[in-house]
Amino acid sequence: MHAYDPIHLFERAAQRWSDRPALRVEGRSITYGELDAWSNAIAERLVARCPDAQRVAFAAEKRASSYASVLGILKAGMAYVPLPPDGPRVRWRSMVDLAGVKFTVGAVDLPGLEAIDAAEGAASRSTRNASGQEAYVLFTSGSTGGPKGVSVSRANVAAYLEHQLNAHAFTEQDRFSQFFALTFDLSVHDLFICWSVGGCLCVPSANDLMRAATFVREEGITVWFSVPSLVLLLQRMRALPANALHTVRLAFFCGEPLTWPIARAYAAAAPEAELFNLYGPTEATIAITSYRIARVALQQEGVVPIGVPFKDARVRVVDDELQLSGPQLAAGYVGNADATDRAFLVDPATGERWYRTGDHVRYDAEENLHFVSRLDDQVKIMGHRVEPAEVDAALASLVPNGHALTLAKRTGDSVRLYTFIDTVADHSALMHELRRTLPAYMLPERIITVEVMPMTAHGKLDRKALLALIEHG
């Protein structure tokens, strides 16, 4: 077993700090001993009912049972597949079919799946605790229509934990934020960094998320982790005054570009905090580069560097594209060998696997990496990767006599999608159908009808002309 295996670290913490709070959720504090016993009971049920299962799904609501389910599934030597709690059901079906899921912990409203009880309890016997196997499958947007499931191993997670736990002085006194959805790989940092050191994971409700600064003060959060968009939201709500986050001592940002103005605003609100900008796609397990933000540098403008790779990670820049390698590199996409072959390369000279990020980067004089742009159409919306082509694929059957094209428009620090169609259609009906097949963050801001798709003098689609139409209704 890897010394930094996530379950090994949790169980070690549970033995050492059995009576300390491990989880604060739904107004309730759950100790390490209670969470350990609960997850053991779930693991026992899984091994008894479906001993040969490789992947187990659950509806990833921010409830105590969800956190016990993550641990229980891993303790059973299986991989967890979190399903977004708001659906849509069509997307759930695609995810469980791609991942070959037959069992769920807790009821999931999809036919053909057998539910294992997620109720609290204690195990009557020990369960298998395999390591080096798959930890989870998380789904991201796919450019060819439908989600792609990234298979991440426990060894990948262990490599991430090893770096972060040695790079930062987390302690059992720390109280960690848990702003990320459990369908988002950055949540794995929240859970297992916290549970490795005996800290308390503090889970906000949906209302708490909109009052994050107040939540931080009330819960005494010392370790913050979020997308930059959350800070921007607090700014716009005028909910981030100076010293508002005075309890925070370590703050991490990831999931989308962090601008210096956002970093500056956060630093003023959290005067005691060290700030770090992390970077990494799901395929490289949570994050793989880091940049420490010096307070003396906060007056800059533009985008904060993504920094330098973790100690055991390897990076290279080929034709401006950042490529990644090392022990955090995922196996690929479940049920999609073609997508895996396109994204993951094998160096013929060394046999080393590399992941093509699609990110255009550059180095500065201090050898820090800077994110410049995407080399394709992919964008980040509240940290979620979105391929606009997936929206178009969802619309293809709904506009059979025309074409649909979705474009992303950046305004300040926010990104919004707009869909253009060149045929007569009921926009309300189209949006209704999109809500049935796509998560909320992928829905276009508006659907705009054009008589014909504009073309450039070179015969290419004129995207600038389409984006200009947004300003004119």
For residues 342 and 376, is the Cβ–Cβ distance under 8 A?
no
Query: In what side-by-side order are the strands of the sheet with 404-411?
Result: 404-411, 414-421, 446-449
Q: State the pLDDT at residue 130.
A: 60
Q: State the pLDDT at residue 372.
A: 93
What distance in Å separates the CA atoms of residue 300 and residue 295, rounded to the nearest whole number? 10
Long-range contacts (CB closer than 8 Å, 24 or more residues apart) made by 454-457: none
Q: What is the mean pLDDT of each run of 10 residues along the chain (473 residues)?
A: 92 98 96 97 95 94 97 97 89 93 92 94 71 86 78 97 98 97 96 98 90 95 96 91 96 95 96 98 97 95 96 95 97 94 94 96 96 88 85 85 86 84 90 90 90 77 84 65
387-470 classified as CATH 3.30.70.1060: no
In sequence order, the 6+-apart residues with CB closer than 8 A to the CB of 285 are 152, 156, 157, 159, 160, 185, 328, 329, 330
Helix axes 64-75, 32-49, angle to 10 degrees: 60
For residues 326 and 159, is the Cβ–Cβ distance under 8 A?
yes
What distance in Å separates the CA atoms of residue 176 and residue 141, rounded to the nearest whole number? 28
Q: Superfamily for 6-309?
A: ANL, N-terminal domain (3.40.50.12780)
Phi-psi region of 326 (alpha: psi -120 to 50; beta: other; left: phi over 0): left
Helix (H, G, I), strand (E, B) or coil at 384: strand
Q: State the pLDDT at residue 458.
A: 66
Q: State the pLDDT at residue 145.
A: 64
Q: pLDDT by residue (tens digit) across 193-222?
A: 999 999 999 999 988 888 999 999 999 999
Q: Which helix (H) or strand (E) holds 35?
A: helix 32-49
Query: Which of 386, 425, 422 lies closest to 402 in space, CA to CA?
Result: 422
What distance in Å separates the CA atoms of residue 352 and residue 124, rounded to the nearest whole number? 45
Q: Looking at the chain, which residues constitute the CATH 3.40.50.12780 domain(s)?
A: 6-309
Kindly report the length of the chain: 473
What distance in Å separates the CA atoms of residue 325 and residue 369, rounded to the nearest whole number? 15
Q: Looking at the chain, which residues constitute the CATH 3.30.300.30 domain(s)?
A: 387-470
What distance in Å separates the CA atoms of residue 110 and residue 92, rounded to the nearest whole number? 8
Q: State the pLDDT at residue 345.
A: 95
Tell me, what amino acid is at 135?
A: A
CA angle 61-378-456, nearest 5°?
A: 145
For residues 202 and 221, is the Cβ–Cβ distance under 8 A?
yes
For residues 262 and 240, is the Cβ–Cβ distance under 8 A?
no
Q: What is the DSSP string of 87-140?
A: --HHHHHHHHHHHT--EEES--S-TT-EEEP------SS------SSEEEEEEE
Tell me, what amino acid is at 48?
A: A
